[in-house]
Amino acid sequence: MKNVFVYCEITEEGHIADVSLELCSKGRKLADELNVDIEAVVIGTKLKGIQEELSPFGVDKVYIAEDKRLFPYTTLPHAAIFSKLLEEQQADVVLVGATSIGRDLAPRVASTLRCGLTADCTSLEIGDHYVKKTDTTYKNLLYQIRPAFGGNIVATIINPDMHPQMATVREGVMKKEPVRRKKLAELINIDVKKYVSDSDFVVNIIERHIEAQKVNIKGAQIIVAGGYGVGSKKNFNLLYQLADAIGGEVGATRAAVDAGYEEHERQIGQTGVTVRPKLYIACGISGAVQHRAGMDQSAQIISINTDLEAPITNIADYNINGRLEDVLPKMLKYFKQNSK
């Protein structure tokens, strides 16, 4: 069994992106089950201190490809370096963040290596698979789990024949958990010239425009989220009043966003952001699997709904049966009374 590899993105500030650290944490657990190493690949420039950043998350080796031409990110050289390194090292499991960069890079690498790729996984596990037709048992496969067919089922996808097994995972899906050890990862510097040619640098970035983040919903510890059941954009004002009072942020489901009740930047779920707040108040949310995938790891969930048979009730810690127009003003009233 070969090793687990994680492609680690670099932020504008020169640090490892949170989604990459989350994948290192998960990769460490997968590697322990397989009894192999976990290896990180970092491509960019000014990478001093990366070894120290990754070591607490259980990484055994860090491959660094450093060249001033590799940052900002451009597809061709990153894909060439990552593909050739994975091929050389005969990687078995490859994890990439499902960011704008990861969604561009991973398919190109999978195409080059002629292997499978499962996008936007919500869970990753190790297990065996038996094929009755050929009487073949495949050992220690990567179970790549994600919603499928419009969220109507949760599919487990395997790739028994063509390796590496590749998956992308969105930020916030996995937990960022440092391991209890002080071992410093082995640092391996890659000679970039051996992995890329001049033709890989035919694309030049002339100018970059980065829009400032308006809402930090991923970092909110309290979220008041509304679904299509809220009824209107005007009714979302009730959610804002409660969120302002309790120090939270307002989120929304895809249905609410599509209906024009809220902006996309507040969308939570498979096609939005993944959150893990201490308190999640779900207002008028039915609880489709795509939405649950983005919030079911919340520490405590309160559902306010007129339908006690809605799927959200199965994961909620508390269910309040009632209309938002009646329940939210009472919550706001009693919160203010008891917080003086």
Which domains does the chain possess? 4-201 (3.40.50.620), 217-338 (3.40.50.1220)
What pLDDT does 253 receive? 96
Most confident of the ranges 166-180, 209-223, 238-252, 262-276: 238-252
Pairing mode of beta strands 153-157, 136-148: antiparallel
> Has residue 2 got a pLDDT over 60?
yes
Does the pLDDT value for residue 321 go beyond 90? Answer: yes
Q: Is residue 287 over pLDDT 90?
A: yes
Whether 141 and 34 have beta carbons less than 8 Å apart is answered as no
More confidently predicted of 289 and 93: 93
pLDDT at 96: 98
Determine the average pLDDT of the residues in 329-335.
Answer: 92
Q: Residue 293 pLDDT > 90, yes or no?
A: no
Q: What is the pLDDT of residue 151?
A: 66
- Is pLDDT of 1 > 70? no
Structure-model confidence comparison of residues 65 and 133, the more confident one: 65
Q: Which of 54-63, 108-117, 141-150 has the lowest mean pLDDT?
A: 141-150
CA 100 from chain centre, in angstroms, equals 12
Q: Give the per-residue pLDDT at 186.
A: 95
**In this prediction, what percent of the chain has a pLDDT beyond 70?**
99
Question: How many C-beta neighbours within 10 Å does residue 90 have?
Answer: 10
From the CB of residue 258, how many other CB atoms can be counted at a distance below 10 Å?
13
pLDDT tens digits, one per residue of 224-269: 999 999 999 999 999 999 999 999 999 999 999 999 999 999 999 9
On whether the CB atoms of residues 225 and 275 are closer than 8 A, the answer is no
User: Across the chain, what does the average pLDDT equal?
Assistant: 92
- pLDDT attached to residue 215: 84
* pLDDT for 289: 86
DSSP 99: S
Res 120 pLDDT > 80: yes
Average pLDDT, integer, range 25-36: 96
What pLDDT sits at residue 219?
86
Model pLDDT, residue 121:
92
What's the whole-number mean pLDDT along residues 192-212? 88
Using the predicted structure, report yes or no on whether residue 142 has a pLDDT greater than 60: yes
Note the pLDDT of residue 150.
67
Whether 276 shows a pLDDT value over 80: the answer reads yes
CA angle 142, 145, 147 (to 5 degrees): 160
CB atoms within 10 A of CB 268: 31
Pairing mode of beta strands 186-189, 222-226: unpaired
211 Cα distance to chain centroid: 21
Give the pLDDT of residue 340.
Answer: 64
Please choose, from the candidates 268, 272, 261, the residue with its C-alpha nearest in 3D space to the C-alpha of residue 301: 268
pLDDT digit string, tens, across residues 51-100? 999 999 999 999 999 999 998 899 999 999 999 999 999 999 999 999 99
pLDDT at site 224: 97
